[in-house]
Amino acid sequence: MRMRLRLPELLAEHKPPLTAYAVHKASKEKDGKPRISLTTIYRLNRNHGHVRNFDGELLEALYDVFGVGPGGVLEREGASGKRTRRRRT
């Protein structure tokens, strides 16, 4: 099974819907340097969250920007590539 980032859904679900640029700006640390590059956000959104690798820093920044935990950012896909339903807790 593959994992994917739910970035397209998170952008659309946010009220008001967020843009990639807004996520980039919201990911800034105290020193003002963004933790997520604009290129990375565009790539993840264009690929519907499918990535080969992602690091802990990216996940942590996404958790902070969207105010969710791992279950809100990650989704497991079945062997056929179809998304499995997430259980709400």
Q: What is the pLDDT, as a whole number, of residue 80?
A: 54
Give me the torsion for CA of 45, 48, 53, 58, rounded to 10°.
40
| Domain count within the chain | 1
Q: What is the pLDDT, as a whole number, of residue 49?
A: 87
- Tell which residue, 28, 57, 21, has the closest CA to residue 42: 21
Domain extent at residue 39: 2-77
CB atoms within 10 A of CB 43: 13
Sequence-separated (6 or more) residues with CB below 8 Å from residue 68: 10, 62
Residue 89: inside a domain: no
Model-wide pTM > 0.75: yes
CATH of the domain at 27: 1.10.260
Q: What is the pLDDT, as a whole number, of residue 83?
A: 57
Sequence-separated (6 or more) residues with CB below 8 Å from residue 37: 24
Residue 52: inside a domain: yes
Q: Which residues of the chain have pLDDT under 70?
A: 1, 79-89
Alpha-carbon span 20 to 12, nearest angstrom? 11
Q: What is the pLDDT, as a whole number, of residue 85?
A: 55
Residue 88: inside a domain: no
Residue 83: inside a domain: no
Q: What is the pLDDT, as a whole number, of residue 88?
A: 52
Q: What is the pLDDT, as a whole number, of residue 87?
A: 52
